[in-house]
Chains A and B, each alone.
Chain A
Amino acid sequence: MPHSTRPARVGEGTGVRRTLIGFVLVISALLVVAPLCVIAVEAFSKGVGVFAATIAHPDTRSAILMTLATALIAVPVNTAFGLAAAWSITKFDFPGRSLLLILIEIPFSVSPIVAGVAYLFVYGMQGLFGPLLQDAGIKILFALPGIVLASMFVTAPFVARELIPLMQAQGRDLEEAATSLGASGWQTFRTVTLPNIKWALLYGVILCNARVMGEFGAVSIVSGNIRGQTNTLPLHIELLYHDYQTAGAFAAALILTVIAVFTIIAKVLLERRGAGRVRPIVATLGTAEAKDQP
């Protein structure tokens, strides 16, 4: 049985504790919970009929498909990129390694809208490759390729950033050991590297996916907002909102939110399952052994 009263530890006066917890709860409620509730309530404010009609509307369906298609291309490509980048940076020594590390981080610090404008100038009609691409009959801007490119730029760091610290901590010993035991590069990656990074990799993929699906700024510049054609879900929400179709906007927002909530649930589940796996890795790599028995 726990003691009903126990001496307070440093900084743990009842007043401090209650104030802090209360503060965090109120802020979370105001900033996170309330808007989510509003979305759900507003989505159904004009009745289930309007909600269903919005979902069933071809423009909404097109936006959902557009978002899914973007994610389906951008996430795998960025996963491959992230893996390759993390592998190169942590397993090889080459000049420009730290420069590459900085390059990968750039999309984190650049505003997505800047990325969108940049793409406009690279691939647009007045841009660098615009005329060339038009001659070749390739449409990048105001079409799926442009949306995918912009989304990929924004989410490029997600997988790499998850993997690099982990792979750096793991070092090269495992791969060297596998190679010394006769494994090929691919065998080493598949049987040794991948199992040890898979939770971090999945986590990175989930974050990347969430961001791709929710990206607004960069995509809004390059998509051209063609209703029913190049609108993604976030763009479609904005469109509906500006058309004073509030209930419709909230209905579309609810879909995006539900996808996001599922993503977070998946992430939490993975973390739970992953937690038991990650710790032993650190334990085996640790140099100091607390207790050794022959």
Chain B
Amino acid sequence: MKIALDHVVKTFNTFRAVHDVSLTVESGELVALLGPSGSGKTTLLRMVAGLEFPDDGHILFGGEDATLIPVRERGVGFVFQHYALFPHMTVADNIAFGMRTARAAKRSRAEISARVAELLRLVQLDGLGDRFPAQISGGQRQRVALARALAVDPKVLLLDEPFGALDANVRRDLRRWLREIHAELGITTLFVTHDQEEALDLADRVVILHQGKIVQQGTPRAVTRTPNSAFVMRFLGDTHRISARAQGGRVELGALTLDAPDVADGPAEIYVRPADLEWTRSGPGLAATVTRVIDRPGARRLQVLAGGDVLELDVAPEVEVAEGEAGQLRIVRSRIFAAS
């Protein structure tokens, strides 16, 4: 089911949570709504679910206006941030809940228990149907919540910070697993996260929100390689800023000259990631002094002072470099924006 948001606005009291957002999610697509807290991503998801209603604009499900259809009739599966499993019901009863309450398509007891068994298998929790939510781990609860949402055969699957409360290893496993389930079921899926790694890892397309507006959307490759603003650049990963001046489509930095064809003349900011910098002993480059060396499993991270800026970069584990050493930085790639 294709979802389209058309100029959606939502205000809470005086706080404008969602500001004129238009977005299309194609049928079968897996899309991440990514943004810092307060960016309006959860409000947006709740409006798609029918848990909130927009003040203005429309939400279309497959071309039909669903803006004012309440959540009960909208046919979405919603997975809550803290799972919202019914604590007084077993895992099996939790999963069966939607099938028992469904007004349309009443199922027999046998059909329901067969479907519950099938879903437990799908989420790899066979044999845990008799447990209560308090008796299983966080990762298992997450999967029960997903099974419960899938039980009602939703047209759209919506997940609010699905892995937020889990630790890093569980999160990585569940991500891969959710990707597989999505591939298997092909259900249009929209999820909210503040974790850029999660969004890039899982989604076909990433929609980045900031202060209630979409600032950029595209494939993980597009948003990471060509961020369209300093905010997106910074939000997607470790970033360092070097202040400079743009003049005639170029930025001069020490002995280096960088092309900046779209940047107006005046103060500019060069953004680089640790992987965009290279350390050399001899120029040409940006003169820098090593202030600290941090040894990590895959690389050595150097903290360097270049001009007035503290920068970080990684060198291969075998590179010999000591604190206090002077050298040159080569900028392999960078994004340059006019200073704001």
A55 at the interface (CB under 8 A from B): no
Which residues between 255 and 294 of chain A lie within 8 Å of chain B, taking CB atoms? 277, 279-281, 283-289, 291-294
How far, in whole Å, are A191 and B97 apart by their CA atoms in the complex? 9
Interface stretch of the complex, out of B136-144, B214-222, B320-328: B136-144
Q: What per-residue 1/0 map shows which CB atoms of B153-197 lie under 8 Å from chain A? A: 000000000000111011001100000000000000000000000
Distance between A189 CB and nearest chain B CB, rounded to angstroms: 12
When the two chains form their complex, are residues B71 and A293 in contact, meaning their CB atoms are under 8 A apart? no
A180-B78, A292-B166, A293-B137 known; A284 and B87 CB under 8 Å? yes
Distance between B184 CB and nearest chain A CB, rounded to angstroms: 18
Residues of A within 8 A of B70 (CB): 179
B76 at the interface (CB under 8 A from A): yes
When the two chains form their complex, are residues A289 and B165 in contact, meaning their CB atoms are under 8 A apart? yes
B51 at the interface (CB under 8 A from A): yes
Distance between A201 CB and nearest chain B CB, rounded to angstroms: 14
Partner of A173 from the list B84, B101, B137 (CB cut-off 8 Å) is B84
B72 at the interface (CB under 8 A from A): yes
Distance between A199 CB and nearest chain B CB, rounded to angstroms: 11
How far, in whole Å, are A183 and B151 apart by their CA atoms in the complex? 14
Distance between A2 CB and nearest chain B CB, rounded to angstroms: 31
Q: What per-residue 1/0 map shows which CB atoms of B97-122 lie under 8 Å from chain A? A: 11001110000000000000000000
When the two chains form their complex, are residues B84 and A177 in contact, meaning their CB atoms are under 8 A apart? yes
Q: Which size bracket describes the interface of A in this complex?
A: 20 to 34
How far, in whole Å, are A21 and B83 apart by their CA atoms in the complex? 45
Distance between A91 CB and nearest chain B CB, rounded to angstroms: 13
A183-B101, A292-B166 known; A176 and B85 CB under 8 Å? no
A184 at the interface (CB under 8 A from B): yes
How far, in whole Å, are A143 and B133 apart by their CA atoms in the complex? 52
When the two chains form their complex, are residues B98 and A181 in contact, meaning their CB atoms are under 8 A apart? yes
When the two chains form their complex, are residues B88 and A195 in contact, meaning their CB atoms are under 8 A apart? yes
Distance between B109 CB and nearest chain A CB, rounded to angstroms: 16
When the two chains form their complex, are residues B101 and A294 in contact, meaning their CB atoms are under 8 A apart? no
A50 at the interface (CB under 8 A from B): no
Partner of B97 from the list A181, A184, A287, A292 (CB cut-off 8 Å) is A181
Q: Which size bracket describes the interface of B in this complex?
A: 35 or more
Distance between A176 CB and nearest chain B CB, rounded to angstroms: 6
When the two chains form their complex, are residues A179 and B72 in contact, meaning their CB atoms are under 8 A apart? yes
When the two chains form their complex, are residues B174 and A284 in contact, meaning their CB atoms are under 8 A apart? no
How far, in whole Å, are A184 and B134 apart by their CA atoms in the complex? 26
When the two chains form their complex, are residues B152 and A287 in contact, meaning their CB atoms are under 8 A apart? no
Which residues between 165 and 186 of chain A lie within 8 Å of chain B, taking CB atoms? 173-174, 176-184
A176-B71, A182-B103, A183-B101 known; A288 and B87 CB under 8 Å? no
How far, in whole Å, are A286 and B83 apart by their CA atoms in the complex? 10
A68 at the interface (CB under 8 A from B): no
How far, in whole Å, are A76 and B255 apart by their CA atoms in the complex? 85
When the two chains form their complex, are residues B137 and A291 in contact, meaning their CB atoms are under 8 A apart? yes
Residues of B within 8 A of A187 (CB): 101
Which residue, of B50, B133, B138, has the highest number of chain A Cβ atoms within 10 A?
B138
B337 at the interface (CB under 8 A from A): no
A183-B101, A284-B85 known; A279 and B165 CB under 8 Å? no
B82 at the interface (CB under 8 A from A): yes
Distance between B247 CB and nearest chain A CB, rounded to angstroms: 51
When the two chains form their complex, are residues B88 and A182 in contact, meaning their CB atoms are under 8 A apart? no
A45 at the interface (CB under 8 A from B): no
How far, in whole Å, are A44 and B315 apart by their CA atoms in the complex? 94
Closest to B172 in A: A294
When the two chains form their complex, are residues B82 and A177 in contact, meaning their CB atoms are under 8 A apart? no
Distance between A179 CB and nearest chain B CB, rounded to angstroms: 5
Distance between A26 CB and nearest chain B CB, rounded to angstroms: 42
Distance between B322 CB and nearest chain A CB, rounded to angstroms: 41
Which residues between 59 and 110 of chain B lie within 8 Å of chain A, taking CB atoms? 70-72, 76-78, 80, 82-88, 97-98, 101-103
A196 at the interface (CB under 8 A from B): yes
Residues of B within 8 A of A181 (CB): 97-98, 101, 148-149, 151-152
When the two chains form their complex, are residues A184 and B174 in contact, meaning their CB atoms are under 8 A apart? no
Residues of A within 8 A of B174 (CB): 294
How far, in whole Å, are A178 and B71 apart by their CA atoms in the complex? 10
Residues of B within 8 A of A281 (CB): 87-88
Closest to B13 in A: A93
When the two chains form their complex, are residues A176 and B139 in contact, meaning their CB atoms are under 8 A apart? no
When the two chains form their complex, are residues B134 and A176 in contact, meaning their CB atoms are under 8 A apart? no
When the two chains form their complex, are residues A174 and B86 in contact, meaning their CB atoms are under 8 A apart? yes
A118 at the interface (CB under 8 A from B): no
Partner of A293 from the list B49, B51, B140, B165 (CB cut-off 8 Å) is B140
How far, in whole Å, are A280 and B141 apart by their CA atoms in the complex? 13
When the two chains form their complex, are residues B165 and A178 in contact, meaning their CB atoms are under 8 A apart? no
B132 at the interface (CB under 8 A from A): yes
Residues of A within 8 A of B88 (CB): 195-196, 277, 281
6 nearest A-B residue pairs (beta carbon): A280-B134, A181-B98, A173-B84, A289-B138, A292-B138, A177-B84
Given contacts A176-B51, A178-B97, A179-B72, 16 further A-B contacts (CB under 8 A): A173-B82, A176-B71, A176-B80, A177-B84, A178-B86, A182-B102, A183-B97, A196-B87, A196-B88, A279-B134, A280-B87, A287-B165, A292-B138, A293-B170, A294-B170, A294-B174
Between A and B, 15 residue pairs with Cβ closer than 8 Å are: A173-B82, A173-B84, A180-B49, A180-B50, A182-B98, A183-B101, A184-B72, A191-B86, A191-B101, A284-B133, A286-B82, A289-B166, A292-B167, A293-B139, A293-B170
